Amino acid sequence: MAEIMHGRKALSSNPLKSSAPLGASLAYLGMAGSVPLLHGSQGCTSFALTLAVRHFKEAIPMQTTAMDEIATILGGPSNLEEALLNLTKRMKPSFIGIASTALVETRGEDIVGALKLIIAARPELQGVKIVYASAPDYDGAMEDGWSKATAAIMDALVEPADGVPAPAPFVNLLPGVNQTPADIEELVELIESFGLGVVVLPDISGSLDGVVPDAYTATTFGGTTVQQVAGMSRALHTIAIGEHMRRPAEILRDRFGVAGTLFPTLTGLEPNDRLISLLTALSGRPAPARLRRQRSQLVDAMLDGHFHFGGRRVAIAADPDLLYGMSMVFGGMGAEIVTAVSSTSHSPLLARVPAEQVVVGDLSDFEDLAAAAGAELLVTNSHGRQAAERLGLPHLRVGFPIFDRLGTAHRRLVGYRGTRDFIFEVANIVLANLPHHHPEDFARIPGEEAHYGHAVPATH
């Protein structure tokens, strides 16, 4: 088991984690006709909005209550009410997801109570579903905010089944914040190949997958509908990905009796074998032939790629669940995790990371530890690019944000195919950074001649 070490610095000089309100906002973007609303200052939202736009390269309908100095001192319910009325009138959303920020949480506002009074007093708000999640910046990172927003959506919208069966059998899919739109599409396709329907929450595969709509819309133009969320209590089973999705899965289990299975990661051979076994049992169908072929391709990729993973010294910095998933793939392929840095300590999976220590810290800690450990590959988000340049090491970009590469939304890391592609990506980075020897690199031995880079006996 890895030893969890907490940094003792007074401040983060090169932050690794992104805030919980940003994670909550991204989860709200997985709802159809949605507008995320951050209750706090304008700056809180502008930073989150900038990161989201740079990462997805898409228009993000994120809004703010824009609290100023007076509202901060006297209270912000009036700002919240004004924002809700303006959004409803101008953008006409079917769903508004509110996330708190450190500003209002530190002040100690009763946001839940104020929201109930606002909705009751304003008939203009009756036609829109409004959900609130407490996600202050100082409590966790993106994984935590995503989880809290998903749980809040379920608390507000899922309705009891009351013994009424679903028209067709389906499962609930609860992807984590680390799943890309392409990951979600891959999993939906996989589940549907067993003859099962699927309801995804949150579903960013339609709202953040990089399509150009036929007409302008001020809200999200994809995602899960309110009606689909209401019917999640009728599912056969719930599939959750990542430890941070445990609480949403438990809501469906404890409150509505929907059994669930949590997969810490779906990158790798073993977890995907378990997923296929689960879907086979739920559907009563054997795995399709194409999945068997994809598994065989992954095994072949593992055989081809292990030469480039084996013994490689790898440094990883990410949110807890992503750190665990990446470390298991690298460790399973024979690499050595010499540095593991997590943004928070909120996941029990950290103790299972195949490294001697997991340091809860920032990218400055990551750079220092990687240099001291003699790392050969850095694995983290785009903010780690300066560390890679200073250390002269290759940099594999994972997590959020990735803003200096295109196609992030279409990058697939789950399933047999996603794992196969990831192995090739890593192996190609290693191959591209191998030292190439030239004839002049070899020392001449008296009485011998250098021939094509190899010392051969001289002829007489």
The 10s digit of each residue's pLDDT in 265-288 is 999 999 999 999 999 999 999 999
- Tell me which residue has tokens 């009728």: 234
How confident is the prediction for the chain on average, in pLDDT? 91
Backbone angles phi, psi at 257, to 5 degrees: 75, 20
Q: How far is CA 90 from CA 31, 81, 208, 224, in A?
A: 18, 14, 22, 22
Q: Is 381 exposed, middle or buried (0-12, 13-18, 19+ CB in 10 A)?
A: buried
Q: What is the pLDDT of residue 59?
A: 87
**What's this model's pTM, rounded to 2 decimal places?**
0.91
Secondary structure class of 131 (helix, strand, coil): strand
d(CA 41, CA 28): 19
Which ranges constitute the DSSP H helices of 216-319?
226-230, 246-256, 269-283, 289-309
Q: List, as own/partner pairs, every contact residues 49-55 make where C-beta atoms lie below 8 angstroms and the sequence separation is at least 24, other chains included.
A: 51/18, 51/22, 51/400, 51/401, 51/403, 52/22, 52/25, 52/26, 52/401, 54/401, 54/403, 55/400, 55/401, 55/402, 55/403, 55/408
Q: DSSP label at 265? A: -
Q: What is the pLDDT of residue 448?
A: 52
Q: Which residues in 151-217 belong to E strands, given as ranges?
A: 170-174, 197-200
For residue 233, the Cα-to-chain-centroid distance in whole angstroms is: 25
Q: Which residues of the chain have pLDDT under 70?
A: 71-76, 436-438, 440-460
Backbone angles phi, psi at 455, to 5 degrees: -75, 125
**Amino acid letter at 189?**
E
- Tell me which residue has tokens 């508004």: 96
Q: What is the pLDDT of residue 165?
A: 80
- Strands 357-360 and 238-241, by their bridges, are unpaired
- Smallest CA-to-CA distance from 424 within 123, 416, 174, 200 is with 416
Six token digits for residue 95: 């769903």
- Smallest CA-to-CA distance from 434 within 374, 376, 366 is with 376
Q: What is the pLDDT of residue 164?
A: 80
Q: Which domains does the chain have, with CATH numbers?
A: 3-10+294-424 (3.40.50.1980), 20-157 (3.40.50.1980), 170-208+216-288 (3.40.50.1980)
Q: What is the pLDDT of residue 213?
A: 78
Q: What is the pLDDT of residue 459?
A: 45
Q: DSSP label at 443? A: P
